[in-house]
Chains A and B, each alone.
Chain A
Amino acid sequence: MTSVNLLILVCIGYVALLFGVAFMADRMAARGRSTWLRSPLIYTLSLSIYCTAWTFYGAVGYAARSGLEYITIYLGPTLVMIGWWWGLRKLVRIGRSQRVTSIADLISSRYGKSTFLAICVTLLAVISITPYIALQLQSITLSFETFFAADPGSGYSSGSSVFWVASGLAVFAILFGTRNLDANERHHGVVTAIALEAVVKLVALLAVGIFVVWGLSGGVSQTMARIDASEIGAWQVDAGRWTTITFLAAAAFVCLPRMFQVMVVENDDERHLRTAAWAFPTYLLLMSLFVVPIAAVGLEIMPDGSNPDLFVLTLPLSQGQDGLAMLAFLGGFSSATSMVIVAAMALSTMVSNHIVMPIWLSSRGGGASQSGDVRKVVLLSRRLSIGAIMALGYFYYRLSGGGAALASIGLIAFAGIAQILPALVGGLFWRGATRTGALAGLVTGFVLWLYTSLLPGMGSMMSGDFLALGPFGISWLRPQALFGITGLDPMVHSVMWSLILNATAFTVASLLSFPSPLERLQGAQFVNVFDHSVGPRGWTGSVAQSEDLMIMSQRILGANQAQAMFQSEAKRQGADGHLPEPTPAFLERLERELSGSVGAATAHAMVGQIVGGSSVSVEDLLAVADESAQMLEYSSQLEIKSTELSHTAGQLREANDKLMQISHQKDAFLDQVSHELRTPMTSIRAFSEILRDTDGLEPSEKVRYATIINNEALRLTRLLDDLLDLSVLESGQVSLDIRGGILAEVLDHAVSSALSGEDAPLQVHRVTDSENVALLSDLDRLAQVFINLISNAQKYCDARDPAVQIDVHQQAGFLVIDFIDNGSGIAADTQAMVFEKFARVSTDKAGGAGLGLAVCREIMHRLGGDVRYLEGQAGGAFRVTLPSRQPNRQPSHRAAAAQ
Chain B
Amino acid sequence: MITPPEDTSPDPPRATQALFLERQSYRRRRLVDVARLLPLLGALLLLVPLLWPGESTGANGGLETPMSTAITYIFAVWAVLIFGAVLFGIAARRWGGDTRRADTDT
Contact = CB atoms under 8 A, between A and B. Distances in A.
Q: Do A and B bind each other?
A: yes
Interface of A: 67-68, 71, 75, 78-83, 85-86, 90, 93, 224-225, 227-228, 230, 232-239, 242-243, 246, 270-271, 274-275, 277-278, 281-282, 285, 289, 292, 296, 425, 429, 530-533
10 contacts: A68-B74, A75-B46, A78-B81, A82-B39, A234-B54, A235-B52, A235-B66, A238-B56, A242-B47, A281-B78
Interface in B92-106: 92-93, 96, 100, 103-104, 106
A255 to B, nearest CB: 16
Contact of B85 (A82, A90, A243, A296): A82
Contacts of A278: 82-83, 85-86, 89
A235 B92 contact: no
Contacts of B18: none
Given A71-B74, A236-B55, A274-B89, A85 B36 contact: yes
A271 B88 CA distance: 13
> 5 shortest A-B CB distances, which residue pairs?
A83-B39, A530-B6, A278-B85, A235-B65, A236-B55
B89 A68 contact: no
Contacts of A80: 39
Contact of A281 (B43, B46, B81): B81
Contacts of B68: 224-225, 227-228
A236 B56 contact: yes
Given A82-B42, A285-B82, A277 B36 contact: no
A669 B49 CA distance: 98
A254 to B, nearest CB: 13
A532 B74 CA distance: 41
Contacts of A243: 47, 50
B15 interface: no
Nearest to B31: A85
B81 to A, nearest CB: 5
Given A234-B66, A235-B67, A274-B93, A79 B43 contact: yes
Given A242-B50, A281-B85, A234 B64 contact: yes
Contacts of A93: 103
Nearest to A425: B1
Nearest to B100: A271
Contact of B55 (A71, A234, A239, A425): A234
B6 to A, nearest CB: 4
Contacts of A225: 68
B17 interface: no
Chain B facing A: main interface SS: helix
A67 B53 CA distance: 15
Interface string B17-49: 000000000000000100110111011001101
Given A71-B74, A86-B3, A235-B52, A275 B67 contact: no
Chain A facing B: main interface SS: helix
Contacts of B65: 234-235
Contacts of B85: 81-82, 277-278, 281
Given A79-B43, A429-B1, A235 B49 contact: yes
Contacts of B47: 242-243
B45 to A, nearest CB: 10
Given A78-B78, A281-B82, A530-B103, A90 B3 contact: yes
Given A68-B74, A242-B50, A533-B104, A86 B66 contact: no
Contacts of B70: 68, 235
A239 B67 contact: no
B69 interface: yes
Contact of B67 (A78, A227, A246, A277): A227
Contacts of A239: 50
A533 B103 contact: yes
Nearest to A72: B46
Most chain A CB within 10 A, of B40, B75, B85, is at B85
A655 to B, nearest CB: 35
B2 to A, nearest CB: 8
Contacts of B81: 78-79, 82, 281
Most chain B CB within 10 A, of A68, A292, A530, is at A530
Contacts of A232: 67
Contact of B106 (A78, A86, A289, A531): A531
Contacts of A277: 85, 88-89
Nearest to B78: A285
Contacts of B3: 86, 90, 429
Given A237-B49, A239-B50, A282-B82, 9 more contacts: A75-B78, A81-B85, A83-B39, A235-B64, A236-B54, A237-B54, A270-B103, A289-B75, A429-B1
A800 to B, nearest CB: 83
Contacts of B92: 85, 274
A63 to B, nearest CB: 10
A86 B46 contact: no
A86 B78 contact: no
Nearest to A83: B39
A425 B3 CA distance: 11
A285 B75 contact: yes
A244 to B, nearest CB: 12
B39 A79 contact: yes
A82 B49 contact: no
B87 to A, nearest CB: 9
B25 to A, nearest CB: 15
A191 B12 CA distance: 41
A245 to B, nearest CB: 12
B35 A292 contact: no
Nearest to B33: A85
A547 to B, nearest CB: 34
Nearest to A234: B64
A106 B93 CA distance: 28
Given A83-B36, A93-B103, A275-B89, A237 B50 contact: yes
B78 A246 contact: no
A79 B6 contact: no
A51 to B, nearest CB: 15
B6 A292 contact: no
A225 B1 CA distance: 44
Nearest to A63: B67
Nearest to A275: B89
